Amino acid sequence: MSTFTTTVRHGEDGVVIIALHGYLDAHTASEFERELRALIQGGASRIIVDFSDLEYISSAGLGVFMVFIEDVRRDHGDILLASMRENVFSVFDLLGFQVLFTITTTVDQAQQEFRSRR
Amino acid sequence: MTNNPYHLTPLRIVPSTENLERIRAYIASAIVSTFLSEVERNGIILAVDEACANLFTHAVAMCPTSVIELRIVVTEHVVTIEIRDQSAAFDLRDVDQPDMDDYFREMRPGGLGIALIRRVMDQIDYVPASADIPFNRLILRKHHRSAS
């Protein structure tokens, strides 16, 4: 069975950083959707997703970001995607997700991106 | 890789997303020492994951006690994966492909799995069950780019 967990930490200026661990597929995507929904309903709108410990993603995982991106942007926030491994980035790249999402090399760069938008 | 085809013992599993990791491991073990690049191998694993997840979600939901079977054959020139199921026929080639500009503009949350399969695999065939063969067959192929 696929294993997937998340950890949440708080950055500067209300930025929330959610780190993904393991495998995000059709089995685990609903768990991630619940956790991201809880964060957003709790008031988070400036969110960085740290992919550095995510081993694998399929379209079900990509779909979770599509569920929430409109809501957070309406709230003047965003979901920035950071620190992807090559195999994970290639899934986003295959479908051209860079058109809709900002993808940064590191979490620090994502934090800088939020700072630049103040 | 020799000219002799490499067949892995078929994998028979119940249709549950809990089994996706097992499916990925099965495919990975068969293609680990092929001619394919790591990017291509990851793409094949992704395509089979997407095809099975789609099958589990849509077709097999109507027949949850069925079993699906995966077969893989690797030759010098091509990797062929066959997914057999006994649920209602569903030919993913009939699904219209999303225009990604429209997709992002409308912020749709799903429907990307088949698009990924089409981008990654070189050939997709589908043979629905018949009186002679009582299972559907989805056949995915990836060719060696430099094979003659």
Residue from B16, B22, B49 whose CB has the most chain A CBs within 10 Å, to mutate: B49
CA distance B144 to B148: 9
Q: What confidence score (pLDDT) does residue B146 get?
A: 60
Q: Fold for B6-143, please state it.
A: Heat Shock Protein 90 (3.30.565)
**Per-residue pLDDT at A63 exceeds 70:** yes
Amino acid, res. B116: L
Of A1, A60, A87, the CB nearest to B21: A1
Q: What average pLDDT does this structure show over A37-56?
A: 97
Among A27, A87, A94, beta carbon nearest to B116: A94
Whether B39 and A90 lie within 8 Å, measured CB to CB: yes
Dihedral over Cα of A31, A84, B47, B91: its sign: positive
3-class DSSP state of A112: helix
3-state secondary structure (DSSP) of residue A33: helix
User: Which parts of chain B have pLDDT scores under 70?
Assistant: 1-3, 59-64, 109, 146-148
For residue A63, give the nearest of B21, B39, B112 by CB distance: B112
Q: What's the pTM?
A: 0.91
pLDDT at B76: 87
Q: Is the pLDDT of residue A101 over 70?
A: yes
Look at residue A47 and tell me whether its pLDDT is greater than 60.
Answer: yes
Q: Residue B92: which of A91, A62, A59, A68 has the closest Cα?
A: A59
Task: Give the model's pLDDT for residue B92.
Answer: 84
* φ/ψ (deg, to 5) at A46: -110, 100
Q: What is the pLDDT of residue B148?
A: 43
Q: Which residues of A touch B48 (CB under 8 A)?
A: none
- Kindly report the three-state secondary structure assignment for every residue of chain B: CCCCCEECCCEEECCCHHHHHHHHHHHHHHHCCCCCCHHHHHHHHHHHHHHHHHHHHHHHHHCCCCCEEEEEEECCCEEEEEEEECCCCCCHHHCCCCCHHHHHHHCCCCCCHHHHHHHHCCEEEEECCCCCCCCEEEEEEEECCCCC
Q: For position B88, what pLDDT does the model report?
A: 84
What's the ipTM? 0.92
pLDDT of residue B116: 95
Dmax (CA) for chain A in angstroms is 42
Q: Mind listing the pLDDT tens digit for each residue in B26-45?
A: 999 999 888 889 999 999 99
Q: What is the pLDDT of residue A69?
A: 95
Query: Running DSSP on this structure, what letter comes out for residue A79?
Result: E
Domain spans, chain A: 4-116
Q: Tell me whether B116 touches chain A (CB under 8 Å).
A: yes
- The alpha carbon of residue B136 and the mean position of all alpha carbons in its chain are separated, in whole angstroms, by 13
Q: Rounded to a whole number, what is the distance in Å from the CA of A99 to chain B's nearest CA?
A: 8
Using an 8 Å CB-CB cutoff, list chain A residues near B21.
1-2, 23, 25, 27
Of B20, B39, B100, which has the smallest distance from its Cβ to A95's Cβ? B100
CATH superfamily of A4-116: STAS domain (3.30.750.24)
For residue A108, the Cα-to-chain-centroid distance in whole angstroms is: 14
Higher pLDDT, A20 or B109: A20
Give the CB-side neighbour count of residue B34, counting CA atoms within 13 A. 32
